[in-house]
Amino acid sequence: MLNVALIGLGTVGKEVARLLLYERESILERTGADLRLKVVVDKDLAPREGLRLPSEVRFTDDIAAALDDPSIQTVVELIGGIEPAKSFHRRAIENKKHVVTANKALLAEQGGDLLKLAASRGVQLRFEAGVAGGVPIIKSFTESLAANRIERLYGIINGTANYILTQMTQKGLSFDEALKEAKRLGFAEADPTFDIEGTDTAHKLTLLCRIAFGVEMPFQQLSYEGISKLSLIDLRYAAELGYTIKLLAVAIRRGDAIEARAHPALIPYAHPLASVSNEFNAVTVVGDRVGEMMFYGRGAGGRPTASAVVADLIDIALGRSYGKAVSFSSNLRIVPRDESVSKWYLRFSVEDRPGVLGQIATVLGKNRISIEACLQKGNPVDGAVPVVMQTFEACERDVRQAIEEIARLATIREETRRLRVEPLTSE
Ligand code: HSE
């Protein structure tokens, strides 16, 4: 029997409570795990719609009831954020309790210490719900794919951003309209800036890298960018080049190093990731034995996330652990941002006169950037036209340098827009 305390009765917490209360018998029958919800802690003790806590479950605003009671074996933290969540984790672990959480911000920014502390106390800190909601990606890395060396992974792991991009692409909605709807549907973080500026994707990528490559990926070194500056014009040009734009988490093994980044990227229409729409998440993984594999499902929302939380509780009850997967034993280096390599989409706003393309191509060439495709359409507006170029692989430093030089050309009208292109090939 596993006695559980739940901290935080929000969208996910409520669904976890429902599962533990209403499905206890069926979970026991299916898995052999006997999960008992004993304590629920929230600073707001108002009754929750659709959830009646039985009298044997203590509902309190006293955190000690979860963290210090010796009869509680596992604490589920679902309040999110760094503090007080971090102190709660520490106290629970110090008191030799397992911790299950969906708190990717905490684990990405400060999880290394907490994982080491948990290992030293002989308890588990589990976070399946922290990466792609209901999609069992952490467990797949630690168990089903454990025989593989992971070569690369690509993920659409923020439901809110994916919902917004889908609505913009398919319905031509504005960014603001789509964000409002995502918030109404309950996908967005308490602070949606994390969703739209790529922070949440980067947090999740940090966790994925730890599990997939065994590296202690410092979140602060991760390069990330969001979708708030994307315009419909880039979505349209991308479509003309055969791509759609997704907010992508990328991690690639390059020799003895890992290149990890999160940003909007053009991906080919023909790849299965391109059809991952709305709040759905997906991760494709390339393992050295299994080849390419894709995981797909609901990455946000109360019920899918609760499904992952309770799966972690079942594993703890049955004595299953991540083993050495979170021991950061790998010696892989992290590729510095400047050296990261990809193909690029560049949109210039230029004066419509002879020789302009030649000037741009010269600067790109001087910076070792080779052009793969070029697109110029439409009539000039106030004498300026958009010119779109797709490049072959080039490193970030060279592209930044070239754009700075191009900005100084007299024929350039507006800031150049640059986005990465990911062909997503598996070789
Ligand atoms: N805000 C997150 C998302 C929730 O939109 O994906 C799940 O982490």
Residue 65 in any domain: the answer is yes
The reply to whether 367 and 260 lie within a common domain is no
Residue 68 in any domain: the answer is yes
pLDDT tens sequence across 4-27? 999 999 999 999 999 999 999 999
The reply to whether 243 and 271 lie within a common domain is yes
Q: Which positions ≥6 away from 84 have C-beta within 8 Å?
A: 63
pLDDT tens sequence across 109-160? 999 999 999 999 999 999 999 999 999 999 999 999 999 999 999 999 999 9
CATH code of the domain in which 75 resides: 3.40.50.720
Whether the CB of 127 sits within 6 Å of ligand 1: no
DSSP state of 381: B
**Element of type H or E holding 317:** helix 302-317
Last residue of a domain, one of 245, 263, 297: 297
Position 52 pLDDT exceeds 70: yes
82: left (phi over 0), alpha (psi -120 to 50) or beta: alpha
The reply to whether 250 and 399 lie within a common domain is no
Query: Which atom belonging to ligand 1 lies closest to the Cα atom of 161?
Result: 5
Residue with tokens 């050495």: 324
Task: Please give the distance, rounded to the nearest whole angstrom, from the Cα atom of residue 195 to the centre of ligand 1.
Answer: 7
Say what the pLDDT of residue 78 is.
98
Whose C-alpha lies nearest to ligand 1, atom 8? 300
Arithmetic mean of pLDDT over the chain: 94
CB-CB contact of 371 with 361 (8 Å): yes
Nearest Cα residue to 113 out of 84, 141, 93: 93
Whether the CB of 166 sits within 6 Å of ligand 1: no
Q: Which positions ≥6 away from 402 have C-beta within 8 Å?
A: 363, 364, 366, 367, 369
pLDDT classification of 426: cutoffs 50, 70, 90: low
Say what the pLDDT of residue 61 is.
98
The reply to whether 54 and 200 lie within a common domain is no
CB-CB contact of 286 with 280 (8 Å): no
Burial-class residue 25 by CB neighbours within 10 Å (0-12, 13-18, 19+): exposed
Whether the CB of 159 sits within 6 Å of ligand 1: yes
The reply to whether 279 and 162 lie within a common domain is yes
User: 3-state class of 112 per DSSP?
Assistant: helix
Residue 287 in any domain: the answer is yes
Mutation test of ligand 1: which of 189, 201, 305 has the most ligand atoms closer than 8 Å to its C-beta? 189
Whether the CB of 195 sits within 6 Å of ligand 1: yes
**Element of type H or E holding 413:** strand 412-421
Q: How far apart are the C-alpha atoms of 310 and 329, rounded to whole Å?
A: 28
State which residues form the domain around 175: 137-297
Last residue of a domain, one of 265, 297, 329: 297
Which position among 97, 139, 204, 246 bears the catalytic label?
A: 204
Task: Please give the distance, rounded to the nearest whole angstrom, from the Cα atom of residue 300 to the centre of ligand 1.
Answer: 5
Position 251 pLDDT exceeds 70: yes
The reply to whether 73 and 95 lie within a common domain is yes
Say what the pLDDT of residue 378 is.
72
Say what the pLDDT of residue 187 is.
77
Tokens of 49: 């719609």
96 is catalytic: no
Residue 402 in any domain: the answer is yes
Residue 401 in any domain: the answer is yes
Last residue of a domain, one of 106, 127, 148: 127
Q: What percent of the chain has pLDDT over 90?
A: 85
CA atoms within 13 A on the CB side of 208: 35
Residue 325 in any domain: the answer is no
**E-assigned strand segments in 54-117:** 58-60, 74-77, 98-101
Residue 339: beta bridge partners?
Answer: none
Task: Please give the distance, rounded to the nearest whole angstrom, from the Cα atom of residue 299 to the centre of ligand 1.
Answer: 6
The reply to whether 142 and 118 lie within a common domain is no
Q: How far apart are the C-alpha atoms of 29 and 391, rounded to whole Å?
A: 56
Residue 326 in any domain: the answer is no
CATH code of the domain in which 211 resides: 3.30.360.10
Q: How far apart are the C-alpha atoms of 52 and 10, rounded to whole Å?
A: 14
The reply to whether 118 and 245 lie within a common domain is no
Q: Give backbone dihedrals phi and psi of 416, rounded to 5 degrees, phi first.
A: -75, 135
Residue 70 in any domain: the answer is yes
Q: Could you give the number of structural domains in the chain?
A: 3
The reply to whether 347 and 264 lie within a common domain is no
Whether the CB of 133 sits within 6 Å of ligand 1: yes
Euclidean distance between the first and the last CA atom of the chain, given in angstroms as a whole number? 47
Q: Decide the pairing of beta strands 2-7 and 58-60.
A: unpaired
The reply to whether 285 and 395 lie within a common domain is no
The reply to whether 76 and 145 lie within a common domain is no
The reply to whether 22 and 66 lie within a common domain is yes
Position 221 pLDDT exceeds 90: no
- Residues 85-114 have a mean pLDDT of 97
Task: Please give the distance, rounded to the nearest whole angstrom, from the Cα atom of residue 189 to the centre of ligand 1.
Answer: 6
Rg of the chain, C-alpha, whole Å: 24
CATH code of the domain in which 413 resides: 3.30.70.260
pLDDT tens sequence across 296-328? 999 988 999 999 999 999 999 999 999 888 878
Within a 10 A sphere around the Cβ of 333, how many other Cβ atoms? 13
pLDDT tens sequence across 370-388? 999 999 877 777 778 999 9
CB-CB contact of 251 with 209 (8 Å): yes
Say what the pLDDT of residue 55 is.
95
Q: Give backbone dihedrals phi and psi of 384, rounded to 5 degrees, phi first.
A: -115, 140
Residue with tokens 């500056």: 229
- Residues 345-351 have a mean pLDDT of 95
- Residues 362-367 have a mean pLDDT of 98
Look at 17-26, 78-87, 183-192 and tell me which has the smallest mean pLDDT.
183-192
Task: Please give the distance, rounded to the nearest whole angstrom, from the Cα atom of residue 186 to the centre of ligand 1.
Answer: 9
